[in-house]
Structure 1
């Protein structure tokens, strides 16, 4: 197998450049003698006996981790967690204006990035973009896998931790209003917490309403093998949407007489999305589609409830047992009515009704034993059972020459999983720590329905893991990391079900969609290495390189099946991906003592990948983002805090298969905010998002012996202004 060495050479050159800048930053520090020895001794004392306030997980954890705290999360007044994540180094969000898209690390989609809520995978059907930032305590970004969490994290893991810290009584109300062209978005958020003896409690509630309108023109072009244009269609499409959501998160903590703690936490999310959409296709060249004029009226409701109880028991030996039992229930309903017209006369009347329920039962536990000096040994388990029932009814009434069609199908999917792990973090010396772990994870899936044969899928994976952190001698500021991992991705229930979702104007660029019961898990071996430099006052600079080798990777492909074009997932050979990430953040006073109170942050990520079974060029993984970057600035002067954030995401053509191509548009997002504190009880936050009004362009093409067809859609970008009044009482 041939691998292009140019990305690796570029990676090494870039890392060398960063190292040279770091060496320059170290000039002026003492380099020996009693002064240096005293500094080293002091540093070692902090590492071993440091207080919780001095602990920095980014700097001191053996496992590489980025932690985004609550203040950073709410800084820009976002209403969706997706808008928060697009500013996190190394993270990109697909989709128009960062909404309704997929969260990606290393630029990889298709579920390669694991998304957790409080350390557990969110059930199918839960919409992550309906999660309000105000109910989140912190976001943890883990570049390399650890045994405690599921190793279904080829690209990495993002763990969203809901609010749970209760330090003092809190009464806070936030009222916000967002406005833009054809866009309104009022919001309200309530935070309550208090203590009563050995019990403490908190309640977070968030309500969102959004109305939006959007025009999305599209162009479809076709050429014969000789290069002559034979098809030209223009589509005018307009849609109006309504979205309502509520998040409620109550939590109660008890401290028992023997020192044990019991925590009960619940998360409730309910949302409703409605859309009215109209489209008209004008055929300027070639044959017209079967249904050129369409109207669609759709309503989608989603309810999700999760509750768990966590018991922590400390033994006399100093060991600790942590046990959690949880359950979740989700319900999803979708009602769609479609009609087609020809010169005002109806040609199609179609109704689709679908509803599904998800039920989860899970248990996790960990036993920690600190008996061996300088070791933190833990043994644990993670098991769960997921049941999904779904039913779909479609009725197409015959009008004129259009044939009638009735589809009544239902299915049940059951997923049982069991995992066990052992991990140990060993402080070899005050400057060198090693994390080693192994996790076994088994998943069994059964899908049965009335329109297809029962499908079974079993997978089990051993994941040995190693990470190490070494703080370079002779300095207080420099350290290196290395991680070796084995991770995987198991197909979800929906991708295994072989029932079809029909497209009205079926073509190679507008295919039906169905699952594939023959999918296999994807396995990956990974290596990560990084260099980090820290300044006093909170500044840091890091450079990291990574590589993943993926076996049996999955790709969405279009095939001609039973007289119709169908999009299906297939295992499609092996792939390799490489990445380089550079990140820096620091107060300006780090460089100039007399500088104003300005904080700067910047990051850039460069990704490469190749797919063995697809000819080049541009044969990279799942529309992988080749280049992304972020830049942010914050300024504080008295009662005013203001700043801006710029996120860049490169695009370009991607070859999905021998016949398929796709195009990603370049994204440039500029957001700005200002916060004015009137007094300790009242403050006003103003924010602008998508200041550059960047359009989102999506394109796909299919080429075979008959020629090529390309469809390009444009979603216009709009700037949104938001004001939020924050009150404490």
Structure 2
């Protein structure tokens, strides 16, 4: 008894920092029923939590961490972005309560490759990035963090890859219903509803899932602006930003034995309908009354986005090995309408503008992206090793249309807070660079050899990525309208695993990866006053960025279910794309310039990642699970103004927490705590320092019999803020001389969110 009390006291000391910080999660699930010998589907699992803590998986793939859905499930994440905020080295620069562009190892989303079922999908970003908050969490079977590249996957992954594995027909034998609601800080409530069924049907294994959920994010922003640091307050801005909408999703997977092999069909569709409503009031000298009201702004953005993918895959034995053919067709459709009405009032303390005036902008954005891919792969034994070779062909076509019109008139003695909207709009004309067709063809042969020798397992491979990009920009002069890019890169990779014993191992990975230029960087269009008062000219001659990367990690099992790991990484990035001064005078006259992206130099990225997930069985607390991951991140790059980190890279990311299961009353509860370090970004015309408040989440769950689970989750319980400090400049010389055009401090908050969810298993 004394030993037990001592063990629990020691465990309390271990848990105390986690609880005081407000700690992280784990999850629990129904243990899976083993598959039958003939390959029948597993029994329903990972659906209703049963009071057993679940921990991060120990993946056999090189340089890979795997997290199943049940790892995240108890905190009821809405989207993949909401799931990823709990894993090592993942940061976000999004607004409060938004998790869209993944910054793996703190780097820009374009450095991270997002895969669905191991394959690329088109994204809406000009840098080919994919917003992960488009995918509901309920569709996901597991998430894999691939720290270093292998030859049989695309090498567009300088920071690494995130592979989102969707549920398949063989993963379930049964189904469940999920329904509930989310309550937000502004008093509004949004519903959620989902259903999944998997089992044997139509002669094979079938899975069908549907999900619909209301989305809302009410935020408040407050800004203070000065002519320069240390000077008197020039004006303040009070802003509300409410983002509301709905997500609808469907996925299906079907596997069947056909002829000498197995046929797989996968369908995936997500539709997002969203309205972003921003309203703001600006006041002279921060005196917030009608007499000092200087600007009224109404900015609405209506978004409709559809992501979809369909694939056929056939595997069969051939020529002494296994052959796979995969054909995929995916698309991204984006429709946006932005409305911005701004009223400016002439005040004695602020004589600009010369008279009261109204400015209205209307912008239509249409993007249609289609991607066809064909992958042929053959795997066969070669002596004691295994050889895999093949090729991937990808054809992308992207149509972009961005048209706008501005209506500006003066209104002497306009009433406050706003007059009736005057004027008419049209015709709508394309923005520079906003009307184009992009065709991209990629051919990527690869070869990979795997083997093992006692305690050592190894992999070596080579991939060649050949890309041809053709842009037809219809907003520039005819001689410059068409531009072409052709480049090829050899991307070798190697992995070594040393199994020290049955519990611990060392992983070493070396790989060359790349990042292709963004579409907006290679268009020949000239964008006026894009960076401060400086113009920005695209550069069709840009080369891809490339990087040699090294990962060295140690991992150890802790008991039967725990695991701890430490990984150090380094990236040497070459041909960095940075903004350079062409020396040509800009459209705004003397002191301004035409700027252009160029392959201007090199940079380095490095860091250390710690990952711990374990029950406290050693302390006699087998129903208590703790979780911690911490990433220390750093980098160096040189630009026009000196050295800095890669733009907006957070210095660290911390997740910590616990889950406590109570088997007898069939209950569990837990807490997670997340903290992301501050970040700094610098481009020509603007510098921004961003810091983030801590994110605290908690849940409590009650199970009723074998089929029902009720779970209450609270998110953002500390009402975390995002704080930004902006230094703004007109010209390059002003930025060098620290002669400010404006200095701004902004704070954004979103409020607490409460979620009640009921699950029924059948």
- The two structures have a TM-score, normalised by structure 1, of 0.84
Match of 1:636 in 2: 661
Of stretches 78-87 and 699-708 in structure 1, the one that deviates more from structure 2 is 699-708
Match of 1:379 in 2: 389
Match of 2:565 in 1: 542
Are positions 1:695 and 2:721 aligned together?
A: yes
Q: Is the 8 A contact 2:101 2:132 kept in 1?
A: no
Task: Considering Cα pairs closer than 8 Å and 6+ residues apart, tell me whether 1 or 2 has the greater RCO.
Answer: 2
Aligned equivalents of 2:528 and 2:340: distance in 1?
12
Q: Which runs of 5+ in 1 are unaligned?
A: 1-51
- Any idea what the Cα deviations from partners look like across 1:680-722, whole Å, max 9, x if unmatched? 1111111111111111112321352471232232211311110
Q: Is the 8 A contact 1:331 1:358 kept in 2?
A: yes
Aligned equivalents of 1:202 and 1:716: distance in 2?
40
Are positions 1:276 and 2:271 aligned together?
A: no
Deviating beyond 6 angstroms after TM superposition, the runs of 4 or more aligned structure 1 residues are 401-405, 500-503, 510-514, 556-560, 564-568
Q: Is the 8 A contact 2:557 2:564 kept in 1?
A: yes
* Residue in structure 2 matching 1:206, options 196, 206, 211: 211
Q: Where do residues 137-156 of structure 1 align in structure 2 (5 Å cutoff)?
A: 137-156=141-160
| CA separation of 1:103 and 1:269: change in aligned 2, threshold 3 A | same
Are positions 1:722 and 2:746 aligned together?
A: no
* Residue in structure 2 matching 1:296, options 272, 278, 299: 299
- Any idea what the Cα deviations from partners look like across 1:186-208, whole Å, max 9, x if unmatched? 11111022213731211111101
Are positions 1:529 and 2:552 aligned together?
A: yes
> What is the DSSP-based 3-state SS (H/G/I as helix, E as strand, rest coil) of the residue aligned with 2:96?
helix
Q: Is the 8 A contact 1:555 1:656 kept in 2?
A: no
Match of 2:739 in 1: 707
Q: Is the 8 A contact 1:222 1:707 kept in 2?
A: no
> What is the DSSP-based 3-state SS (H/G/I as helix, E as strand, rest coil) of the residue aligned with 1:147?
coil
Aligned equivalents of 2:218 and 2:633: distance in 1?
35
Q: Is the 8 A contact 1:686 1:722 kept in 2?
A: yes
Aligned equivalents of 1:446 and 1:621: distance in 2?
29
| CA separation of 1:229 and 1:516: change in aligned 2, threshold 3 A | farther
Match of 1:32 in 2: none
Aligned equivalents of 2:138 and 2:426: distance in 1?
49
Aligned equivalents of 1:244 and 1:492: distance in 2?
29
Aligned equivalents of 1:692 and 1:184: distance in 2?
20
- Any idea what the Cα deviations from partners look like across 1:192-234, whole Å, max 9, x if unmatched? 22213731211111101124432212122223xxx77377221
Aligned equivalents of 1:567 and 1:710: distance in 2?
23
Q: Is the 8 A contact 2:176 2:197 kept in 1?
A: yes
Q: Where do residues 305-704 of structure 1 align in structure 2 (5 Å cutoff)?
A: 305-315=308-318, 317=320, 319-343=321-345, 347-373=358-384, 375-400=385-410, 407-408=429-430, 410-429=435-454, 431-452=455-476, 453=480, 454-472=482-500, 475-499=501-525, 508=532, 516-555=539-578, 561-563=586-588, 570-589=598-617, 591-592=618-619, 594-613=620-639, 619-638=644-663, 639-652=666-679, 654=680, 656=682, 660-703=686-729, 704=734
Match of 2:351 in 1: none
Match of 2:415 in 1: none
Shift of residue 370, structure 1, vs aligned partner: 2.0
Match of 2:253 in 1: 251
Shift of residue 127, structure 1, vs aligned partner: 3.8
* Residue in structure 2 matching 1:134, options 135, 138, 143: 138
- Any idea what the Cα deviations from partners look like across 1:280-323, whole Å, max 9, x if unmatched? 222339xxx99933222321111222111000112373x10011
Aligned equivalents of 1:650 and 1:700: distance in 2?
18
Q: Is the 8 A contact 1:511 1:558 kept in 2?
A: no
> What is the DSSP-based 3-state SS (H/G/I as helix, E as strand, rest coil) of the residue aligned with 1:305?
strand
Aligned equivalents of 1:679 and 1:537: distance in 2?
27
Aligned equivalents of 1:572 and 1:281: distance in 2?
40
Q: Is the 8 A contact 2:58 2:563 kept in 1?
A: no
- Any idea what the Cα deviations from partners look like across 1:626-683, whole Å, max 9, x if unmatched? 111111211111111221111111105x362587432120341111122221021111
Aligned equivalents of 2:586 and 2:486: distance in 1?
27
Aligned equivalents of 2:544 and 2:466: distance in 1?
11
Shift of residue 553, structure 1, vs aligned partner: 1.9
Q: Is the 8 A contact 2:338 2:363 kept in 1?
A: yes
Match of 2:84 in 1: 85
Match of 1:123 in 2: 122
| CA separation of 1:252 and 1:512: change in aligned 2, threshold 3 A | farther
> What is the DSSP-based 3-state SS (H/G/I as helix, E as strand, rest coil) of the residue aligned with 2:370?
strand
Of stretches 94-103 and 452-461 in structure 1, the one that deviates more from structure 2 is 94-103
Q: Is the 8 A contact 1:540 1:586 kept in 2?
A: yes
> What is the DSSP-based 3-state SS (H/G/I as helix, E as strand, rest coil) of the residue aligned with 1:96?
coil
Q: Is the 8 A contact 1:145 1:487 kept in 2?
A: yes
Aligned equivalents of 1:405 and 1:567: distance in 2?
30
Shift of residue 515, structure 1, vs aligned partner: 5.3
Match of 2:266 in 1: 265
Match of 1:177 in 2: 181
Q: Is the 8 A contact 1:62 1:434 kept in 2?
A: no
Shift of residue 438, structure 1, vs aligned partner: 0.6
Of stretches 579-588 and 657-666 in structure 1, the one that deviates more from structure 2 is 657-666
| Number of corresponding residues | 659
RMSD of aligned residue pairs (Cα, Å): 3.2
Shift of residue 606, structure 1, vs aligned partner: 0.9
Match of 1:3 in 2: none
Match of 2:7 in 1: none
Shift of residue 67, structure 1, vs aligned partner: 0.5
Match of 2:35 in 1: none
Aligned equivalents of 1:84 and 1:266: distance in 2?
22
Match of 1:18 in 2: none
| CA separation of 1:189 and 1:57: change in aligned 2, threshold 3 A | closer
Aligned equivalents of 2:257 and 2:264: distance in 1?
9
| CA separation of 1:213 and 1:679: change in aligned 2, threshold 3 A | same
Aligned equivalents of 1:364 and 1:579: distance in 2?
34
Aligned equivalents of 2:190 and 2:269: distance in 1?
21
Aligned equivalents of 2:631 and 2:241: distance in 1?
35
Aligned equivalents of 1:521 and 1:144: distance in 2?
18
| CA separation of 1:130 and 1:336: change in aligned 2, threshold 3 A | same
> What is the DSSP-based 3-state SS (H/G/I as helix, E as strand, rest coil) of the residue aligned with 2:409?
coil
| CA separation of 1:399 and 1:499: change in aligned 2, threshold 3 A | farther
Aligned equivalents of 1:577 and 1:176: distance in 2?
43
> What is the DSSP-based 3-state SS (H/G/I as helix, E as strand, rest coil) of the residue aligned with 2:285?
strand
Shift of residue 59, structure 1, vs aligned partner: 4.5
| CA separation of 1:583 and 1:297: change in aligned 2, threshold 3 A | closer
Q: Which runs of 5+ in 2 are unaligned?
A: 1-40, 43-54, 125-129, 287-291, 347-355, 412-422
- Any idea what the Cα deviations from partners look like across 1:4-61, whole Å, max 9, x if unmatched? xxxxxxxxxxxxxxxxxxxxxxxxxxxxxxxxxxxxxxxxxxxxxxxx99xx996562
